């Protein structure tokens, strides 16, 4: 089985959270008065669920274009962290591969990559695995948003499928917590995210991520040997 196929299959379980999220996105777009073409275009150009939801909400409230764009950019600042983590894998790849990989980068594709990185022996194999997961993610998102636009949010509200998105990430993160340092950083980040959640412009997520990285770096530092 090729690494690309393994990546595609590795993303399949995560689509249980992507599909209801996409259905909500499509429904919200239809209710906001966007056309199918506008919704599909946003899907391709933006390709970021949280930013798309925020943008549609602001547009429905007739917010200024600069506010809509700025909000989307702020929400997506977390991708700078993902990009920095992915950079070593793509360092020797051609520009075309780097460009495509950057475009397809999502929370889900990065999480699947992180959860399976120990099984990937070479950077080339890791890139193929990553692209396979990205294609699966793109197909699931596009089809579910289109279905949500055409048929509405087809999942009953009583199912509370909003929880499927964070739960899909929990299932990926938990196996990576292998020692006391990881546990401490995870616990600290969880607490910080709750405390910092009220920050404006969704900055709580960014600040929490930076604090978690700083703590992880501090705990992982190597002791200085005395000469």
Sign for the CA dihedral angle at 171, 153, 140, 149 comes to: negative
Q: Pick the closest to residue 58 from 28, 35, 37 (CA basis).
A: 28
Tens of pLDDT, residue by residue over 5-31, are 999 999 998 888 888 888 888 888 888
User: Do 123 and 205 fall within a single domain?
Assistant: no
User: Do 142 and 92 fall within a single domain?
Assistant: yes
User: Do 74 and 151 fall within a single domain?
Assistant: yes
Percent of the chain topping pLDDT 90: 26
Alpha-carbon span 20 to 13, nearest angstrom = 13
Tally of CB atoms within 10 A around 44? 10
User: Do 95 and 187 fall within a single domain?
Assistant: no
Tens of pLDDT, residue by residue over 38-68, are 999 999 998 988 888 888 888 888 888 888 8
Chain centroid, CA 125 distance in Å: 21
| pLDDT winner (highest mean) among 106-110, 133-137, 201-205 | 133-137
User: Do 148 and 56 fall within a single domain?
Assistant: yes
- Has residue 227 been placed in a domain? no
Q: Taking the model in full, what pTM does it have?
A: 0.75
Full residue range of the structural domain in which residue 182 is found: 177-222
Are the C-beta atoms of 135 and 12 separated by less than 8 Å?
no
Residue 60 structure tokens: 């429905």
Residue 201 structure tokens: 């412009």
Number of domains in the chain: 2
- Has residue 72 been placed in a domain? yes
DSSP 76-133: TTHHHHHHHHHHHHHTTS-HHHHHHHHHH--HHHHHHHHHHGGG--SHHHHHHHHHHH
User: Do 121 and 187 fall within a single domain?
Assistant: no
Mark 134-156 as b/e (b = at least 16 C-beta within 10 Å).
bebbbebbbbbbbbbbeeebebe
Dihedral angle over CA of 176, 131, 83, 97, nearest 10: 150
- pLDDT tops 90 at residue 97: yes
Phi, psi of 225 (to 5 degrees): -80, 135
């Amino acid at each position: 089985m090729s690494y690309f196929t393994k990546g595609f299959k590795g993303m399949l379980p995560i689509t249980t959270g992507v599909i209801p999220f996409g259905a909500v996105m499509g429904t919200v777009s239809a209710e906001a008065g966007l056309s199918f073409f506008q919704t599909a275009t946003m899907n391709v150009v933006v390709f970021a669920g949280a930013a798309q939801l925020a943008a549609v909400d602001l547009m429905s409230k007739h917010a200024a274009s600069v506010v809509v764009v700025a909000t989307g950019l702020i929400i997506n600042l977390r991708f700078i962290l993902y990009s920095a983590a992915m950079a070593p894998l793509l360092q020797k790849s051609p520009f075309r591969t780097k460009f495509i990989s950057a475009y397809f980068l999502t929370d889900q594709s990065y999480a699947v990559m992180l959860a399976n990185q120990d099984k990937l022996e070479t950077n080339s194999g890791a890139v193929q695995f990553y692209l396979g997961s990205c294609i699966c993610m793109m197909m699931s998102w596009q089809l579910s948003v289109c279905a949500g636009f055409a048929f509405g949010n087809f999942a009953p509200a009583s199912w509370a499928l909003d929880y499927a998105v964070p739960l899909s990430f929990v299932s990926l993160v938990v196996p990576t917590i292998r020692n006391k340092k990881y546990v401490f950083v995870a616990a600290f980040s969880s607490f910080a995210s709750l405390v910092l959640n009220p920050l404006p412009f969704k900055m709580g997520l960014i600040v929490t991520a930076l604090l978690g990285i700083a703590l992880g770096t501090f705990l992982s530092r190597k002791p200085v040997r005395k000469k």
